[in-house]
Amino acid sequence: MENKQGLNAKQSLKQDEIIHMFDDIAKTYDTTNRVISMGIDINWRKEACKEAFRILNRQKLDIADIACGTGDMMLHWEQVGKNLHVEIQSLEGIDPSNGMLEQARQKIPHGIFKVAQANNLPLESCSKDIISIAYGLRNVVEREAALKEFYRVLRPNGVLVILEFTTPNTRSLFSRLMQFYTKNILPIVGGLISRNFKAYRYLPSSIDSFITREGLEAELLACGMSTLVAKSYSANVSSLLIAQKKL
């Protein structure tokens, strides 16, 4: 039977399970993240912020970070904005996991946080210049509805910044090493630190089942956003997409 959002019970349960999983690993999330990523994500995040600021080339901006988790991307928006003399008029973090938001509130006491899913944002239409979602889109079961929400909330010419893990498509030695690491080492290390092996087995499988960067670009276009920046890092392990809301 389908609910009012057109989801069947199995899909709804899956989304609930994903959110519950993040509640469960929230307290160890930052430590695990730093260990398994070896800090490499910091540069990817900074570059995403810089590119978005460069595209908009404006002094005052309103930003919402969706699937904000423990708030890392919000801290980068603040820090890069300060370095580039961009005034961030408002910065909101949105996530459906209370556990993740509890950690975020401790890290960013002045932050504004809301509990919500990406497909149903508690934000006014045409109210944000930037929407970011870092390593969150894979977890959103209703992706199309979420992309439509991002379009609704963005101002004309506003940009959507997506950072996401992607499946390496090159056959280089480095690429194969990265794949081996993600599939075999990372779930063990993540599982040991968080004591939740299921959550860190979910990570490589969710990357495998996620669409390609090109597929995502096509979905964005179908929702009225055209890609301005498409980059991959570390043998395609992580991708950055910046898409602009068309007038």
Ligand X SMILES: C[S@@+](CC[C@H](N)C(=O)[O-])C[C@H]1O[C@@H](n2cnc3c(N)ncnc32)[C@H](O)[C@@H]1O
Q: Is residue 241 a contact residue for ligand X (CB under 6 A)? A: no
Paired with 2 in beta bridges are 8
Q: Is residue 140 a contact residue for ligand X (CB under 6 A)? A: yes
Consult the annotation and say whether 41 binds a ligand. no
Task: Report which DSSP code applies to 141.
Answer: S
| Position closest to ligand X via CB | 69
Alpha-carbon distances of 197 from 69, 188, 240, rounded to whole Å: 19, 7, 28
Which residue number, 36 or 61, has a Cβ lying nearer to ligand X? 36
Q: Is residue 22 a contact residue for ligand X (CB under 6 A)? A: yes
Rounded CA separation 36/112 (Å): 28
Stretch that binds ligand X, among 69-77, 123-131, 178-186, 229-237 (CB under 6 A): 69-77
Q: Is residue 86 a contact residue for ligand X (CB under 6 A)? A: no
Rounded CA separation 151/201 (Å): 32
Edge-to-edge, what's the strand order for the sheet holding 154-165? Answer: 112-115, 87-95, 60-66, 128-134, 154-165, 238-245, 225-233
Q: What is the β-pairing status of strands 128-134 and 112-115?
A: unpaired
Q: How far is CA 120 from the centre of its chain?
A: 16
Stretch that binds ligand X, among 131-139, 151-159, 184-192, 234-242 (CB under 6 A): 131-139
**Binds ligand X (CB under 6 A): choice among 136, 168, 190, 204:** 136
Rounded CA separation 118/238 (Å): 21
Residue 95 CB, nearest distance to ligand X (Å)?
5
Site mask for ligand X (CB under 6 A), range 182-221, x = bound: ----------------------------------------
* End-to-end Cα separation, the chain, in angstroms: 38
161 Ramachandran zone, left/alpha/beta (phi>0; psi -120 to 50): beta
Q: Is residue 113 a contact residue for ligand X (CB under 6 A)? A: no
Consult the annotation and say whether 62 binds a ligand. no
Tell me the site size for ligand X, rule CB under 6 A: 21
**Binds ligand X (CB under 6 A): choice among 92, 95, 129, 164:** 95
Residue 81 CB, nearest distance to ligand X (Å)?
17
Stretch that binds ligand X, among 62-70, 152-160, 188-196, 221-229 (CB under 6 A): 62-70
Which residue number, 25 or 235, has a Cβ lying nearer to ligand X? 25
State which amino acid sits at residue 159.
V
Q: How far is CA 211 from the centre of its chain?
A: 14
Interaction site with ligand X (CB under 6 A): 15, 18-19, 22, 66-69, 72-73, 95-97, 100, 117-118, 134-136, 139-140
Q: Which residues are annotated as a binding site?
A: 70, 95
Binding site for S-adenosyl-L-methionine, by residue number, is 70, 95
